[in-house]
Structure 1
């Protein structure tokens, strides 16, 4: 399972051609009929089993051909390079299980990444992320209608990562944050059941992986294994410390034809990626979201308002309330409750009339948080991604974006005892090349002004290889 990127590149060169097929399936999604907007999500649905929208290998140049000129012929799914997953259909067993309501998908993502200059330490590190998903449709199994069980059965990271080498307040590798940052860990990070109760409403509950839940709202963003790698490019960092990445929770979701429209969820406030049980040691976190879908300029878009309130006690960065304990140092003050509020917007700018998979989208957010408890006063990001940058490479994707994480003054004053801090800002650019339907190779560059003033600007280079099996 553990291969070098040199072997990947050698394998690609020996193939002699690039096969352009459907984008890798997105694990962790709910069914298209319940959540997803088919006009925005152009890749093959996770619940389509082994379905694949295979394009022909004809060279069409850099411009879109007339509809039907190039992609009318489908290559054989049995060919190794045309499969949507490396291991294929398991002699019909994979598609047979899917017809019976059991869908299995896995991936191995390898990273080689590090600061080439600046940051905390100039070192490159190699690490791996193994993900295995199991989804069960109770209706297809002949049990009862409207039930979906989503299991992130294996969430395993091993090797090393460059998150702390670059700058910890803007993680340069989102995927390697789970299950635990810094240490090789293995866990089942999601065991979530969802039941449709009519009228577009669904009840959901269980063990929830926040990155998987995030992908329910924005399926194109890929949990850091397909698109941008820096967490600040995908979601507001203001959620720290109120929203754990893996925890237990339950709530109600309203879904329409185009996706999630509203949600009200309640979670434990503690992060428990490798433990089970519900003991609520620090209150609960309540999350509410409302989403409006639009069609500006005839192109799909959405606008989401999110609010988070945590009832527990958190460290206050207002040092005026700290107590000096003789012989024992300083006892930080605690504050009851903390909040986060944010807006997220997404808009498609362009689409290929001959190939709906090819489109350009802009995404941005702004988030605000309680300055007493969060390191961040506000955060923001704006990015543009193109899916299918070239007509005959519809499965490639590329993106460029900018983010800024403004630290609150109390947090800066507190940490300045050790080292002066400043706001973080930076940009990221990537190109994800589909070597085959089941193997994508990404080059990634991040330039970040670090939070520690004494550190030079971090230039973080990365390679990412993802195999869907």
Structure 2
């Protein structure tokens, strides 16, 4: 039986906060990437301000010493005003920096969404929802516990309100962030508690409770989570991983990282999704994921190419109705097939960068994925997008993007669902503009145009607003 989290653990999670999954020992950064490009820049600016401030008082302790017991020594840097700080709550009178010096990084975000189909789709209705996320990253070496160890947690993953995923078209989710912890209902969970230990030579082992969107952000920090860039899941990652790879599950594996990020990975996961429970009972086998990534520098611009393969050993519903059993008076019993697979390619290429400000750049991202035709809704999926970070010189922390996706459905899946209503392939595009109102608050306008799966529905024109507050 699966065990539910205790009330005490939930309370502890609220106090702990959380940082995105990180492998700091191998230059694989998680916490900063959650907040887009502006966080590292703001961090450097703040560090420069810190250098001009003395953190000593009459007790003779430094800020690092304060974190170990002298709570009155740290003071807010004089240059950290409300409208220029990178996070709303600032440096907590120096204590946030003290914690970071001691190996504990805390970040949080409160993101609000107002989104819905203006026309077409399943239903024309706008819905309001929000996400409250807190991440923590603990560097065990700096904490004096275990050199090369890192504990990362997505300790608060709290979904409130409603979303427009089903209103638009469910097979191309229009709001990635609202997929977790559960779609369609207010949910609180701790979706990631992951320990990583560096072994040397760039290799590391990792194990624990894993949030797949956080894990995805280790490979592509600019594209994951749906809090800063594109909102539609089809623009961020291949949906072919359904049903083999759960969004929240337990797993372990080995990863090879280099100076530019993850290079190789072999991971094994529990095949069931456990967003609000501990899991650990392996009711349907395991999922094995392997990935190899090659970094390039075409025309002196960085890029990467990734091959990924997934195989799940469990039993999954077969959409080939010839094997289904019809029981008079009791309905239909679908057939099942053991094992399912996914294979895909992902490419990322920077097209341009500002020589005076490398954070201003144009980047292209695309993928194509194929899956088992017997038990996956998707036969193949593909996407291509272009984003500009700092679209205007006077707006260096804004970002904008435009992209197209195509989700081809398996013929057996189409035939099965068409017994109820005729369906076809899903394709569409998205364009967004993310504007920095203050360094800690960004407002995104988003437009998605999607040809829905249900043939009877008109093309969905989905409008959305997203406000993200980093605290």
The two structures have a TM-score, normalised by structure 2, of 0.87
Q: Does residue 379 of structure 1 match 2:381?
A: yes
Aligned equivalent of 1:251: 253
Aligned equivalent of 1:369: 371
Please list the CA deviations of residues 383-418 of structure 1 after superposition, one character each: whole Å capped at 9, or x if unmatched.
Answer: 000000011211000000000000010000000010
Task: Work out the CA distance in 2 between the residues paired with 1:51 and 1:187.
Answer: 33
Aligned equivalent of 2:456: 454
1:342 CA displacement: 0.2
1:43 to 34, 37, 41: 37
SS of residue paired to 1:141: coil
Task: Work out the CA distance in 2 between the residues paired with 1:419 and 1:54.
Answer: 59
Query: Where has structure 1 moved over 3 Å in runs of 4 or more?
Result: 26-30, 48-55
1:100 CA displacement: 0.3
Q: How does 1:131-210 map to 2 (within 5 A)?
A: 131-210=133-212
SS of residue paired to 2:80: coil
Is the 1:388–1:394 Cα contact (8 Å) retained in structure 2?
Answer: yes
Task: Work out the CA distance in 2 between the residues paired with 1:117 and 1:260.
Answer: 42
1:221 CA displacement: 1.2
SS of residue paired to 1:295: strand
Task: Work out the CA distance in 2 between the residues paired with 1:280 and 1:317.
Answer: 24
Aligned equivalent of 2:346: 344
Aligned equivalent of 2:3: none
Is the 1:54–1:82 Cα contact (8 Å) retained in structure 2?
Answer: no
Is the 2:42–2:85 Cα contact (8 Å) retained in structure 1?
Answer: no
1:222 CA displacement: 3.9
Q: Does residue 111 of structure 1 match 2:141?
A: no
Q: How does 1:254-403 map to 2 (within 5 A)?
A: 254-403=256-405
Task: Work out the CA distance in 1 between the residues paired with 2:177 and 2:362.
Answer: 24
SS of residue paired to 1:451: coil
Task: Work out the CA distance in 2 between the residues paired with 1:203 and 1:153.
Answer: 21
1:184 CA displacement: 0.2
Aligned equivalent of 2:70: none
Q: Does residue 34 of structure 1 match 2:36?
A: no
Q: How does 1:230-249 map to 2 (within 5 A)?
A: 230-249=232-251
Aligned equivalent of 1:433: 435
1:143 CA displacement: 1.5
Is the 2:169–2:453 Cα contact (8 Å) retained in structure 1?
Answer: yes
1:114 CA displacement: 0.2
* 344 and 113 in structure 1: CA distance in 2 versus 1, 3 angstrom threshold: same
Is the 2:158–2:186 Cα contact (8 Å) retained in structure 1?
Answer: yes
* 94 and 84 in structure 1: CA distance in 2 versus 1, 3 angstrom threshold: same
Is the 1:301–1:347 Cα contact (8 Å) retained in structure 2?
Answer: yes
SS of residue paired to 1:89: coil
1:33 CA displacement: 4.5
Task: Work out the CA distance in 2 between the residues paired with 1:133 and 1:375.
Answer: 33
2:417 to 410, 415, 418: 415
Task: Work out the CA distance in 1 between the residues paired with 2:351 and 2:282.
Answer: 44
Aligned equivalent of 1:128: 130
* 122 and 76 in structure 1: CA distance in 2 versus 1, 3 angstrom threshold: farther
Task: Work out the CA distance in 2 between the residues paired with 1:199 and 1:422.
Answer: 48
The two structures have a TM-score, normalised by structure 1, of 0.87
Please list the CA deviations of residues 56-107 of structure 1 after superposition, one character each: whole Å capped at 9, or x if unmatched.
Answer: xxxxxxxxxxxxxxxxxxx974111110100000001000000000111100
* 371 and 161 in structure 1: CA distance in 2 versus 1, 3 angstrom threshold: same
Please list the CA deviations of residues 353-386 of structure 1 after superposition, one character each: whole Å capped at 9, or x if unmatched.
Answer: 0001000000000000001000000000000000
1:43 CA displacement: 2.6
Task: Work out the CA distance in 2 between the residues paired with 1:117 and 1:45.
Answer: 37
Name which structure has the greater RCO, CA cutoff 8 Å, separation 6+: 1
Task: Work out the CA distance in 1 between the residues paired with 2:226 and 2:133.
Answer: 12
RMSD: 2.1
Task: Work out the CA distance in 2 between the residues paired with 1:347 and 1:359.
Answer: 11
Is the 2:26–2:257 Cα contact (8 Å) retained in structure 1?
Answer: no
SS of residue paired to 1:126: strand
5+ residue gaps, structure 2:
1-18, 49-76
Aligned equivalent of 1:63: none
SS of residue paired to 2:118: strand
